[in-house]
C-alpha cells in the first residue's frame, strides 16, 4: 500500500556507502533504531525485525512453544500463511468462521476449542481490528496463547492499543502490499522478555552472540535464519515516518465514503470493532448479486475473489500435504482432523456479499470526494 521513493533509495545508499550490511555488525544501526521507534509507537517492549510476515508468524509460534500435537485456531479468511505457519512448526490449523466484521468470530472460537487447542491467531484483515476484548477474555478463560497476525494492519489502533501489541506476541509484514513496504520483511512484537529471547534465538540459528546479550538464562535451541540486513532496516526507518500520514489520509477517506453511502438502502457499512479509528471500509449487501453489481461500478471489489485469502483455495492445507510424509503434523495430531470446502460456509456467504472500497487513490482529497460522489452519490441501488 505504501510506495517506495527517493528517500528509501538514499537510505539504502547510505548503508552501501558505509559498507556495513549486517545488522548485528552494526550496533545502534538502522535496524536497531527502527525497532526502537516501532517499540515506542506500538507500546510493545520488544521488536525483532525478520525477513517476512510468514517468518514472523513462525517465529512467534516457535517462541510460544507451539509444536506437534498442538491445535491453533485460525480464521477462514486470511492470507494462507496464517494457516501454513503452524504447520511449519509441527502444529495443525483449525479453521474458524469469520463474522460480518471480516475477522475471526469469538463465538466460533469457543465452539472450536478442544483439549488440544494451544493458541489463537486473530488476524486483523485489511486494516480491520478483531474484537480483541472478547478474544483476550476467551484466551484467559481457556489458558490459550494469543498470537496476533497484524500483517495487514501495521499501525492500526484498536481502542487505546495498537494491533500486534495486544496479545502475547504479534506479527507484522512489510510486504509490498502492506502499510509499511520494503518489498518483503516483517517483525515480531511482544512485551514478554522470555518470548522475545526465544524469538530472537529462533530467528538466528540458535546463536547466542551477535549482540544477543540478554538471554534471560534460556538455553539456546536450533533455529532458523530470518535475519535482515541494514539496507532493510534503513528503508524501514523511512517507511515508518510515512505511516502516520498515510493512515490519517485513509481515515479521512473512510469518513467521506461512509457519509456518501450512509443513505443508500440495500447495503450497510460492515461491522467494525473500533470505527473511530477505522482506516478501511467494507460494505455488506443482502445478496451476492448486489455485491457484484456494486463492484461493477469500479472502485470496489468483492472479497470472495481474493485467491489465497479464502480457505477454499488453500489446497495444501485442505489436502494436508507437506514436503515429506514424515514431516506431516496431521499424522501427529491427537485426533483426526478433516477439512472440506464447505466447512466455513458462513464465511463464504459473508465474503460473497461484501465489497471492499478502495481508499488508496493518489488523487487529492477534494478530487477523491468528487469521484466518490459521481460513483455512488446518486442512483444506487439500480
Q: Which residues, 6 or more positions from 207, have their beta carbon under 8 angstroms from its beta carbon?
A: 201, 220, 223
The predicted structure's pLDDT at residue 209: 55
Backbone angles phi, psi at 95, to 5 degrees: -80, 135
Give the per-residue pLDDT at 348.
97
Residues 3, 181 contacting (CB under 8 angstroms):
yes
Contact, 283 vs 128, CB < 8 A?
A: no
**Cis peptide bond upstream of 381, omega within 30:** yes
Output the furthest CA–CA distance in the chain (Å, rounded).
67
Report CA-CA distances (Å) from 170 to 32, 45, 186, 227, 280: 18, 12, 11, 17, 21
CATH, domain range 6-240: 3.40.640.10
Strand, coil or helix: 334: coil
To the nearest 10 degrees (0 to 180), the angle between helices 30-42 and 230-261 is: 30
Report the pLDDT averaged over residues 14-38.
90
Strand 169-173 to 186-190 pairing: antiparallel
User: Measured between alpha carbons, how far is 168 from 72 in angstroms, rounded to an integer?
Assistant: 14
- For residue range 45-66, what is the model confidence (pLDDT) as tens digits? 999 999 999 999 999 999 999 9
CA R_g for the chain? 21
Q: What's the predicted TM-score (pTM) here?
A: 0.95
Nearest to 77 by CA among 104, 42, 48, 53: 104
Lowest mean pLDDT among 13-17, 239-243, 265-269, 350-354: 265-269
Per-residue HEC secondary structure of 282-348 comes to EEEECCHHHHHHHHCCCCEEEHHHCHHHEHHHCHHHHCCCCCCHHHCHHHCCCCCCCCCCCCCHHHH
- At 176 the three-state DSSP class reads coil
pLDDT score, position 382: 46
DSSP H helices in 132-229:
132-142, 193-203
Helices marked H in 19-131: 30-42, 53-63, 81-88, 106-112
**Nearest partner of 50 among 202, 257, 219, judged by Cα:** 202
DSSP structure class, residue 220: P
CA dihedral angle for residue 150, residue 152, residue 158, residue 160, rounded to 10 degrees: 70
Which phi and psi (to 5°) does residue 224 adopt? -110, -175
Give the residue from 224, 153, 157, 151 showing the smallest Cα distance to 187.
Answer: 151
What's the sign of the alpha-carbon dihedral 12, 13, 16, 17? negative
Alpha-carbon distance 290 to 300, whole Å? 13
Mind listing the pLDDT tens digit for each residue in 178-196? 999 999 999 999 999 999 9
Separation in Å, CA 330 to CA 65, 97, 318: 18, 21, 11
Write out pLDDT tens, residues 95-141.
Answer: 999 999 999 999 999 999 999 999 999 999 999 999 999 999 999 99
Residue 258 near residue 280 (C-beta atoms within 8 A) = no
* pLDDT attached to residue 307: 77
Q: What is the pLDDT of residue 210?
A: 59
pLDDT > 90 fraction of the chain, expressed in percent and rounded: 82
Residues 247 and 267: their CA atoms lie apart, in Å, by 25
CA 289 remoteness from chain centre = 29
For residue 71, is it left (φ>0), alpha (ψ between -120 and 50) or beta?
beta
| CA 197-198-199 angle, 5° bins | 90
The DSSP letter of residue 348 is H
Q: Which positions ≥6 away from 88 have C-beta within 8 Å?
A: 58, 61
pLDDT tens-place string over residues 131-155: 999 999 999 999 999 999 999 999 9
pLDDT tier, 381 (very low <50, low <70, confident <90, very high otherwise)? very low
Residue 218 — very low, low, confident or very high, per pLDDT cuts 50/70/90?
confident
The chain-wide mean pLDDT, for the chain, equals 93
Confidence of residue 233 (pLDDT cuts 50, 70, 90): very high
Q: Which residues, in sequence order, are CB contacts of 39 under 8 Å at separation 6+? A: 45, 46, 47, 189
User: Structural domain boundaries of the chain?
Assistant: 6-240
Closest CA to 120 of 100, 146, 95: 146
What three-state secondary structure class fits 99? coil
Amino acid at each position: 500500500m505504501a510506495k517506495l521513493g527517493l528517500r528509501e533509495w538514499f537510505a539504502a545508499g547510505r548503508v552501501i556507502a558505509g559498507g556495513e550490511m549486517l545488522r548485528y555488525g552494526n550496533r545502534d544501526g538502522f535496524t536497531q533504531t527502527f525497532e526502537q521507534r516501532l517499540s515506542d509507537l506500538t507500546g510493545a517492549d520488544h521488536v525483532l525485525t525478520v525477513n517476512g510476515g510468514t517468518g514472523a508468524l513462525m517465529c512467534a509460534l516457535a517462541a510460544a512453544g507451539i509444536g506437534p500435537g498442538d491445535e491453533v485456531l485460525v480464521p477462514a479468511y486470511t492470507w494462507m500463511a496464517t494457516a501454513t505457519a503452524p504447520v511449519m512448526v509441527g502444529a495443525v490449523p483449525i479453521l474458524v468462521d469469520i463474522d460480518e466484521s471480516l475477522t475471526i468470530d469469538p463465538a466460533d472460537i469457543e465452539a472450536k476449542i478442544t483439549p488440544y487447542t494451544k493458541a489463537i491467531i486473530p488476524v486483523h484483515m485489511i486494516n480491520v481490528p478483531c474484537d480483541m476484548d472478547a478474544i483476550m477474555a476467551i484466551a484467559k478463560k481457556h489458558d490459550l496463547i494469543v498470537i496476533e497476525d497484524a500483517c495487514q494492519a501495521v499501525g492500526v489502533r484498536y481502542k487505546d492499543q495498537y494491533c500486534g501489541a495486544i496479545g502475547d506476541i504479534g506479527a507484522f509484514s512489510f510486504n509490498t502490499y502492506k502499510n509499511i513496504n520494503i518489498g518483503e520483511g516483517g517483525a515480531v512484537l511482544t512485551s514478554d522478555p522470555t518470548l522475545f529471547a526465544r524469538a530472537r534465538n529462533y530467528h538466528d540459528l540458535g546463536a547466542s552472540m551477535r549482540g544477543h546479550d540478554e538471554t534471560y538464562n534460556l538455553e539456546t535451541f536450533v533455529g532458523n535464519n530470518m535475519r535482515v540486513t541494514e539496507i532493510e532496516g534503513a528503508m524501514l526507518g523511512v517507511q515508518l515516518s510515512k505511516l502516520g500520514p498515510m493512515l490519517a489520509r485513509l481515515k479521512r477517506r473512510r469518513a467521506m465514503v461512509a457519509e456518501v453511502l450512509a443513505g443508500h438502502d440495500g447495503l450497510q457499512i460492515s461491522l467494525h470493532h473500533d470505527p473511530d479509528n477505522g482506516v478501511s471500509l467494507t460494505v455488506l449487501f443482502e445478496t451476492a448479486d448486489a455485491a457484484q453489481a456494486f463492484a461493477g461500478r469500479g472502485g470496489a471489489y468483492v472479497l470472495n475473489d481474493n485467491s489465497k485469502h479464502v480457505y477454499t483455495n488453500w489446497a495444501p492445507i485442505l489436502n494436508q500435504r507437506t514436503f515429506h510424509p514424515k514431516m506431516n503434523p496431521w499424522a501427529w495430531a491427537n485426533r483426526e482432523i478433516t477439512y472440506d470446502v464447505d466447512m466455513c460456509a458462513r464465511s463464504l456467504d459473508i465474503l460473497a456479499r461484501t465489497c471492499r472500497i478502495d481508499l488508496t487513490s493518489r488523487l487529492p482529497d477534494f478530487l477523491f470526494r468528487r469521484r466518490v460522489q459521481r460513483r455512488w452519490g446518486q442512483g444506487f441501488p439500480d
